[in-house]
Amino acid sequence: MPNTQSTPGNGHAAGELPEPRIVGFFCTWCTYLAADLAGTSRIKYAPNVRVVRVMCSGRIDPQFVLAAFANGADGVLIGGCHPGDCHYQEGNYNCLRRARLLKRLLAQLGLEEERFRVEWISAAEGDRVRQVIDDMVEKLRALGPLNMKQQQPLVNIVPQEHALEGVWL
Amino acid sequence: MPDLRNGNQPPRIGVYVCHCGTNIAGTVDVAALADYATHLPNVVVSREYKYMCSDPGQELIRQDIRKNSLNRIVVASCSPLMHEPTFRGALAKAGINAFLLQMVNIREHVSWVHTNKVEATRKAKDLVRAAVRRVGFHKPLEKRKVAINPNVLIVGGGIAGIHAALTVANSGKHVHLVERQPTIGGHMAYFDKTFPTLDCAACILTPKMTAVGSHPNITLWTYSEVASVEGYVGNYKVKVRHKPRYIIEDLCIGCQECVEACVYKEGRWADEFNLGLSKRKPIYLPFPQAVPQKVLIDPEACIEFKSHKCKKTCIEACGERNAIDFHQKETIEEIEVGSIILATGFKTFDARRNAYYGYGVLPNVYTSLEVERLVNASGPTAGEIVMRDGSKPKAVGIIHCVGSRDHNTNRWCSKVCCMYSLKLAHLIRERIGAEVYNFYIDMRTPGKGYEEFYDRLLDEGVHFVRGRVAEVTDWPIHPSENGKLIIRAEDTLAGFVRRIPVDMVVLSVGLEPQANARDVRRMFNISCSEEGWFLERHPKLAPVSTFTDGVFIAGACQGPKDIPDSVAQAGAAAAEAMALADAKYVELEPYTAHVLEDACSGCKTCLNICPYTAISFIEETKKAQVNEVLCKGCGTCVATCPSGSIEQNLFEDQEIFEEVEGLLAYA
């Protein structure tokens, strides 16, 4: 595929459109298990998502999402339990409230809304992992790579040297 | 900044890549992956091995820890939910803290779901790189030990619940058995004979029911439901809702004189136990062998409840026993248990959904469960096989797979229908000598003595037609079909469509999850498969455990099962519960949150967010404090804290930021 905007150093040969890179934050009780189930069921899906396991989608700090974008992710996928099904009663609602705010912030920064997605996937829904990931990868391929440097200096919003010490905001 | 608290040494990381036979090595270039890891910062050794989880594999890690003074381990293999405990054990054995481990899931999340070896290997490298970055920040942690309440709650009083209750109670632990019907017994109590041995269901079930009723270690809660569940493994607080029978259970002796004396001389309401095939009175005993032997009053039917103008002959008959109480109210009581066994069973498929078989429209179309009652000696016809008009059928058609193996309804095989259909065919043929036709897709008779039973039926002259029935109709197209039910099916062995006139049709209905399975699942915090069966922790290695520690499942609530399988599972679940109780203590994962006092501003944002009220505000210091006993480790407060002053063990911000950066750092 011809390409003119190849990002250097991403492991792809020049002239090849870089594949979207997605960071997934998956709740260990539902979506992570669903991804495990997809594995044991040998369901095949796009290899673009790298999963970070958390105990609950309520643990997902918006900073994690921003950090992923700041470090070069083209998309972020949050996977939590269906409403009413949270292993910890209501963590997924907290996640949803944060995600709604975060979506607005990301829009103001100029990110397309397809780049940040929250999905409820129960432990039984292995095939839904495939659907969601394949769908997201397809949409991000159409959007092309996220080139934050040309749009907004997100790095300034999440200064890495301070992020680790938890003193910013 | 790498953490220096582990012996004040900078991280010395060992990376171990598992082949898992060819499961991983077939799709991921494990040699390249291990080689890649060698060049990552702080990695001292990196190896690949055929089976890391095997003893030699673990020994490899232990040796390296000792020889190379490793203080952090990364294992790239299967899901951490599978083998994290295994590798933590290996670390602990080698003398370093078990939590200085990070697992990388390159089987379920990589090799099994991707086909392109280059892409799969690239993904595996990213994941390993992230783990190497993250593990450097891991801190030594200790598991918390909490005492276990030895009492066990069992939900559901069918054969699985009964067997589990007796097993646990015989070991000296106390059992609370909760059953929502007025009697225990479950579906097995409906049956006359059980396949393939044809022993009488009542003869093998009722002694066990009686044993449950009289066991000193069993508290029986019939006509009761679990209202709520709180707590965690070893310490569950359960509220049980006890529905009013309008009979004081302690005073009723089960003499049934009140039933005799009721102003209604004949039954007028559909008898639930006979599936409406007979009538009962407003005051009744569910069935003669019911446990407990206590009558109950149906307030929908009783005159006293409707008009308050009944002569109350029942109270007269009860006399000095004074067991009848029209003012009884629902009660809720709290019990404390350490573990829970769910044995909530199944329901049968509603045959009305397959309208082309005419159930509910054609009177002589029955479900198999109704026929179980008809052939039962204590059933509505005292075991005589007669139809609704009182006549005996001369020809009977049994249709298999109604609501099973059907893409329009339920896709699964219900496992028991072939065998119970054979049993009913045998009983019908034996009792009334009718011609019996079985319409089947495949005969599925795996099991001890099952295939032999099928052979026996073939010899007994039962007819077998291989083909799915298209419809059951009462429209004759030939005089010989007048007044009959006509079964139209393609005989796939003979190769043509047949019309077989019969008098009675039996629909072998499949097994389905209980209608409220999803509510029950939610209450006990476990998972369901897409169909609604309770999900086991592992289909092979942890078939009665769930993802919630201390909650076990047994019997058909987990999937269609016959009696031997249900009993075997019940025994397994009982053993799990007993093992937990005998351990006296349980170790809880240390993923709890704690407040960094210096940083806490005392804003109280976290207080309301905690679903377990584990966070309190200390007035003296004006700081929040987490009670680690109540904390279940979701981490929601950590993400909520505006000043970043709450940490969650093993999921610290720092650790997750490192992981995210590691994932995205270009190699």
Residue of B648, B659, B664 lying closest to A59 (CB–CB): B648
B130 contacts on A by Cβ (under 8 Å): 50, 52
Q: Name residue B226's beta-bridge partners.
A: B240
ipTM, two decimals? 0.84
Nearest CA in chain A to B131: A52
Picking from A50, A76, A134, A146 by the largest number of B CB atoms within 10 A of its own CB, the best residue to mutate is A50
Rounded to an integer, what is the distance from CA B250 to the centroid of its chain?
Answer: 32
Q: Do B636 and A59 touch (CB under 8 A)?
A: yes
Residue of B1, B79, B660 lying closest to A71 (CB–CB): B660
Q: Which stretch of DSSP H or E encloses residue B413?
A: none
pLDDT of the residue at A149: 54
Alpha carbon distance A117, A48 (integer Å): 15
Which tens digit of pLDDT belongs to each residue from B296-350? 999 999 999 999 999 999 999 999 999 999 999 999 999 999 999 999 999 999 9
Rounded to an integer, what is the distance from CA A152 to the centroid of its chain?
Answer: 19
Which tens digit of pLDDT belongs to each residue from B156-183? 999 999 999 999 999 999 999 999 999 9
Residue of A11, A39, A61 lying closest to B109 (CB–CB): A39
pLDDT of the residue at B2: 40
Question: Phi and psi for B618 in degrees, rounded to 5?
Answer: -90, 115
Q: Is B42 on the interface with A (CB under 8 A)?
A: no
Distance from CA of A149 to the nearest CA of B (A): 16
Residues 61-100 of B with CB under 8 A from A: 79-81
Q: Do B116 and A47 touch (CB under 8 A)?
A: yes
Which tens digit of pLDDT belongs to each residue from B364-404? 999 999 999 999 988 999 999 999 999 999 999 999 999 99
Place of tokens 């004979």: B193
Residues of chain A with pLDDT under 50: 1-14, 151-159, 162-169
Distance from CA of B352 to the nearest CA of A (A): 28
Mean pLDDT of B472-483: 94
Task: Please provide the average confidence, as pLDDT, over all residues in chain B.
Answer: 94
Question: Phi and psi for B428 in degrees, rounded to 5?
Answer: -65, -45
Alpha carbon distance A109, A93 (integer Å): 24
B653 contacts on A by Cβ (under 8 Å): 61, 63, 163-164, 166
Tokens standing for residue B463? 């007819």
Q: Taking each helix axis from N to C terminus, what angle separates A62-70 and B653-664, rounded to the nearest 10 degrees? A: 30
Residue of A58, A123, A163 lying closest to B634 (CB–CB): A58
pLDDT of the residue at A85: 86
Rounded to an integer, what is the distance from CA B427 to the centroid of its chain?
Answer: 32
Cis, bond preceding A8 (omega within 30 deg of 0): no
Alpha carbon distance B564, B543 (integer Å): 15
Tokens standing for residue B342? 């769910």
Q: Is B651 on the interface with A (CB under 8 A)?
A: yes
Residues 124-143 of B with CB under 8 A from A: 126-127, 130
The fraction of chain B above a pLDDT of 70, given in percent, is: 98
Beta strands per DSSP E along A12-141: 22-27, 49-54, 75-80, 116-120
pLDDT of the residue at A8: 40
How many other CB atoms are found less than 10 A from the CB of residue B197?
Answer: 11
DSSP B109: I
Q: Whose CA is closest to B30, among B53, B48, B46?
A: B48
Q: Is B605 on the interface with A (CB under 8 A)?
A: no
**SS3 category, B139:** coil
Distance from CA of A39 to the nearest CA of B (A): 4
Contacts of B309 (CB under 8 A, 6+ apart): B303
The fraction of chain B above a pLDDT of 90, given in percent, is: 92
Q: Name residue B617's beta-bridge partners.
A: B624
Do the beta carbons of residue A134 and residue A46 sit within 8 Å? yes
- B139: exposed, middle or buried (Cβ count in 10 Å: 0-12, 13-18, 19+): middle
- Pairwise pLDDT comparison (B6 vs B138), residue with the higher score: B138
Size of interface A-B (CB pairs under 8 A): 163
**pLDDT surpasses 50 at B210:** yes
Distance from CA of A142 to the nearest CA of B (A): 20
Alpha carbon distance A124, B532 (integer Å): 10
Tokens standing for residue A166? 């938890």
Tokens standing for residue B123? 């993904």
- What confidence tier does B481 reach under pLDDT thresholds 50, 70, 90? very high
Do the beta carbons of residue B91 and residue B101 sit within 8 Å? yes
pLDDT of the residue at B89: 95
Which tens digit of pLDDT belongs to each residue from B438-449? 999 999 999 999
pLDDT of the residue at B400: 97
- What confidence tier does B8 reach under pLDDT thresholds 50, 70, 90? low
